Amino acid sequence: MHKLGVFLLKVPLRLLGLLPLRVHYALGRFVAWLAEDVVRYRRDVVMHNLTKAFPEKNVWDLKPIRKAFYQHFGELVAEAVWFGGCRNAKRLRRARLVEVENPEVAARLFEAAPSMVVMYSHCGNWELYGGIESYNYTDKPLPFNEQNFCVVYRELSSRAWDDVMRDNRFAPLKDRKHFPGYIETKDLIRYAYSHRDEKKIYNVNTDQRPYFESPANMDVDFFGQQVQTMTGAAALARKLGMSIAYLSMRRERRGHYVMRYEPICEDASKLGVAEIMQQYYRLVEADIRQQPENYLWTHQRFART
């Protein structure tokens, strides 16, 4: 039954993924309208988050941000489905959907430490990170390859969807089935310690609202409010003396994102976890203030009061 479920999900997604990106964006506009105006998908959560993040704005100022967010949400879905049809790097390079602005910073941080942690938020389109090797259009090489690049993920409750998303997220890789760097969050510490003699790059989606069973969390300042955050990536980097970077992903226009590596430290053992996390959230907040519609507001970001 599991294999049948995967087949029934994967086949239509693969066929849709073969369509041109402009067709997906047209479908994305429909998804945006459906989510915001018909289904009203988490609209109360979105408005609550925006109100908390931007208390100086009234509801009429926030509605355009909400609308722009749902348009972005539709594009997220469109781009993720299209990305699943990229079974080689050439399609990604032709589309130039993403580019890495400063690959030399990633290379420097990687060389400076035994391994490297890259923390990123739900800005931009995080489902596109599996193509990061193909997004460098400069003559400055990235230090990433399929042997040292690791992505830490949270397992979905549906095994079928979890398998489909794995295949979709790493569509351009040469060997998707045997990619060693797809690490479930609960296995991260064990994996990192068992591979501590190898140079690795651990990419960790680090937003607040830690998993309910996670013992590793703390309060940080985010938009002037105290929120809880996951701390596992920072604690691991500090324990093993890794370098840490924040990966920004801003949207320049529809169909084009720019990734930028912002150094946090070359040796995390010299900083406290709280200091690392607060510096990270300052960078995240700055990105969100610049492009508020580019953040995933459908998650509960702030406590209800």
Q: pLDDT per position in the chain (305 positions), as tens?
A: 677 777 678 888 888 999 999 999 999 999 999 999 999 999 999 999 999 999 999 999 999 999 999 999 999 999 999 999 999 889 999 999 999 999 999 999 999 999 999 999 999 999 999 999 899 999 999 999 989 999 999 888 888 888 888 889 999 988 877 888 999 988 999 999 999 999 999 999 997 665 545 566 788 999 999 998 989 999 999 999 999 999 999 999 999 999 999 999 999 999 999 999 999 999 999 999 999 999 999 998 887 76
pLDDT of residue 216: 63
pLDDT of residue 8: 73
Sign of torsion over alpha carbons 164, 67, 290, 219: negative
**pLDDT one-digit tens code per residue, 145-159:** 989 999 999 888 888
Q: What is the DSSP string of the chain?
A: -HHHHHHHHHHHHHHHHTS-HHHHHHHHHHHHHIIIIIS-TTHHHHHHHHHHH-TTS-HHHHHHHHHHHHHHHHHHHHHHHHHTT--SHHHHHHHT-EEES-HHHHHHHHHTSSSEEEEE-SBS-GGGGGGGGG---SSS-----TTTEEEEE---S-HHHHHHHHHHHTTTSS-STT-TTEEEGGGHHHHHHHTTTS--EEEEE--BS--TT-S-EEEEEETTEEEEEE-HHHHHHHHHT-EEEEEEEEEEETTEEEEEEEEEES-GGGS-HHHHHHHHHHHHHHHHHH-GGGB-TTS--S---
pLDDT of residue 214: 59
User: How far, in Å, CA of 229 to CA of 113, rounded?
Assistant: 25
pLDDT of residue 176: 79
Residue that is written with structure tokens 């569509």 in the block: 171
Q: Where are the domains of the chain?
A: 2-294
pLDDT of residue 175: 82
| % pLDDT > 70, the chain | 96
Residues facing 123 on adjacent strands: 295
